[in-house]
Amino acid sequence: MRGKSISCFCLHFKKCYSIIRKKLYRNSRERRKIMYNKVLALLQEEYPEIDFTSSDELVDEGILDSLTLTGIIAALSMEFDIEIPYDEIIEENFNSVEAMAEMVERLQA
């Protein structure tokens, strides 16, 4: 009898865990999307002449130069109340809006 109740508990736990995991994943995706939109809006407001959605290699392709990057770092720092350490100022973190949004989320945590 006891083995049966443990088995039922395990099935119930697996079901609950699966539901919670799906909700957390959905919330995480939604948070990333919201942050992406906030970062994109800020960048478009500050630099309307640049199409930030045209490439996933904004730095590598020369779309963003060092002066623009300095401005973006300042804008992100002020808007999201974060300090971007020197070791985070690498091409990978600024090659796309998605990468910038992920960096901001990471630094806010």
> Would you kindly state where each structural domain of the chain is located, as residue ranges?
30-108
* pLDDT at residue 14 is higher than 80: no
Q: Which two tokens stand for residue 40?
A: 């994109």
Mean of pLDDT values over 17-30: 65
Query: Residues 31-88: pLDDT tens digits?
Result: 899 999 999 999 999 999 999 999 999 999 999 999 999 999 999 999 999 999 999 9
**In the CATH hierarchy, which fold is given to the domain comprising 30-108?**
1.10.1200
First to last CA, the chain: 46
* Distances 66 to 63, 72, 90 between C-alpha atoms, Å: 10, 10, 11
pLDDT band per the 50, 70, 90 thresholds, residue 28: confident
Give the count of alpha carbons within 13 A of 27, CB side only.
6
